[in-house]
Structure 1
């Protein structure tokens, strides 16, 4: 499920116009999500890295869009004339903190008009440099264009704050953008090694299994299956207009990729299998955070994926 930008969708649509033989070659190179073997490279250190929190009320929608493609890695604070600005260079450790920022447009003025994407006008992702401590937040904007993201307790270290949005006016109207800045959380820092790769992960009693063989820079199918106590889970509730939300960060530089399932939301309950369009731009280890909702509660499973 790689979520891709609308521009990338158009580009992929052109690239996909070809012979059936070319498509077959692409799928053969990636591997098929229907293969019975588990995908190499999925493990999350479930008991220490997974989390859960109360979720939003269920919503329904059509097939999730393929936006926020990893054509840009989100590691810059500016792109196409838009700039992420913030006076918060440091945040307190061990307690809740508020991260405030604005998005300035090509005219250097704060942008106040944003399009709704997956039911929200702004998505903020906080990730520690060792890819621990993931948070996905939907901030609130003041009339002057200042956004406030209320963060849960942060561990000491270097954190990167990603802002994912789509301007609804100006030269960037309709363009999906991801910008980021780093902040420091003072205190004694302990680096957590990235967990080894495996085929499944556990969170809150659920088992998440992933199948497929993604290759760097290629569009490949990916399947995620959710089970509990050995039984398939069929009560996944829509969350942000999908049955699951997937975000990935690259080991070393924390490059960003936003993925969405290609499985259409059809009713109040879904599962157990979800199909994803995977297109990670570079090889290496990626830390994936899969968010899904059951019984009004949001679960977050963390997994390590090795991409060839």
Structure 2
């Protein structure tokens, strides 16, 4: 990230226990890339591969847990006490007086849809002033409870503070929808927030098991490799390396003011973590090694989605890593 908000810089500087992970490019395991989402020029979508999928009714998805997806709920996960982190775990629709208010709790299956929502401020009014973070005023994410169907979008906002995210076709099941933003004015000025809520897509959900932890993943001929161990509950640096045809990649182009964007979701409760890029951007020749600052709120398996750009094309790959 070329210009981090003040809150993120403060956390990165104050956090102790830096862990350096040294990477080499070796081996690969294929992760299919589902690209060319309708109406999403330049975006790629990566879903986890399915093995022996199980048919379950969408309404029985365990992530619903009685949550109707309305923005007025203060807590959506049993992660109390994590609010001291810059972004928390992202499992609440409200924090410090800010609230994610969704226009609907249901989305159509199998077709693109516009998801409308508003960020309400401590004064009870819609927030309309947002700081720019990685070239955007708000980052929006969607993922199903089995951690498939990842989408990273940049919605548009009208003058009254209503945002619309153009979601690509969703499969049946329960989806968690996240808004990441930094208010430019008001009580939360300069503070990073990640708020989320859920929505149901009707139909029979084909739940896909989480792929086992692996240090490598491939997409569009590129191999992403990580070595080392992730640690939860502490700040540390995390490095990834990219190669193609056995050779280091050195032609990465800036994407959102960085050479890559890395988002992680915790298996089971979908806790959110954004791994902030540290590698300085210098033209269209990034790589092969990229460093990220990370703070994973809890141990367990995490599904990581790495996005990077070469020759004007955005690539998205996914891999599962375990944090101790």
Does the alignment reach a TM-score above 0.5?
yes
The Cα offsets for residues 63-82 of structure 1, whole Å up to 9 and x where unpaired, read as: xxxxx966511111101101
Say whether 1:55 aligns with 2:42: yes
Q: What residue number does 2:145 align with?
A: 129
Say whether 1:182 aligns with 2:198: yes
Q: What residue number does 1:64 align with?
A: none
Equivalents in 1 of 2:216, 2:309: separation in Å? 18
Equivalents in 2 of 1:268, 1:98: separation in Å? 33
Which structure 1 residue ranges, 5 or more long, are not aligned? 17-25, 57-67
1:88 is paired with a residue whose SS is coil
CA contact (8 A) 2:225 2:242 kept: yes
Say whether 1:34 aligns with 2:50: no
Count of residues paired in the alignment: 280
CA contact (8 A) 1:218 1:280 kept: yes
Instruction: Select the residue among 13, 31, 39 that pairs with 1:46.
Output: 31
Instruction: Select the residue among 227, 248, 254 that pairs with 2:270.
Output: 254
CA contact (8 A) 1:157 1:186 kept: yes
CA contact (8 A) 1:4 1:69 kept: no
Equivalents in 1 of 2:228, 2:311: separation in Å? 29
Say whether 1:75 aligns with 2:63: no
CA contact (8 A) 2:130 2:185 kept: yes
Instruction: Select the residue among 222, 228, 234 that pairs with 1:218.
Output: 234
- Structure of greater relative contact order (alpha carbons < 8 Å, 6+ residues apart): 1
Deviation at 1:277, TM superposition (A): 2.1
The RMSD of aligned alpha carbons is 2.5
The Cα offsets for residues 54-106 of structure 1, whole Å up to 9 and x where unpaired, read as: 538xxxxxxxxxxx966511111101101110121100010101100001101
Equivalents in 2 of 1:15, 1:293: separation in Å? 30
Deviation at 1:229, TM superposition (A): 1.1
Alignment of 1:154-169 (within 5 A): 154-169=170-185
**Structure 1-normalised TM-score?**
0.84
Say whether 1:227 aligns with 2:243: yes
Deviation at 1:35, TM superposition (A): 6.4
Which structure 2 residue ranges, 5 or more long, are not aligned? 44-83
**Which is worse superposed, 236-245 or 266-275?**
266-275
212 and 5 in structure 1: CA distance in 2 versus 1, 3 angstrom threshold:
farther
Equivalents in 2 of 1:241, 1:7: separation in Å? 18
Deviation at 1:10, TM superposition (A): 2.5
108 and 221 in structure 1: CA distance in 2 versus 1, 3 angstrom threshold:
same
CA contact (8 A) 2:5 2:190 kept: no
Deviation at 1:279, TM superposition (A): 2.1
Deviation at 1:221, TM superposition (A): 2.7
Instruction: Select the residue among 111, 116, 123 that pairs with 1:107.
Output: 123
Equivalents in 2 of 1:213, 1:189: separation in Å? 33
Equivalents in 1 of 2:24, 2:288: separation in Å? 16
CA contact (8 A) 1:44 1:301 kept: no
CA contact (8 A) 1:4 1:259 kept: no
Deviation at 1:108, TM superposition (A): 0.8
The Cα offsets for residues 172-224 of structure 1, whole Å up to 9 and x where unpaired, read as: 11111110110000011111000011110001111100123221112223221
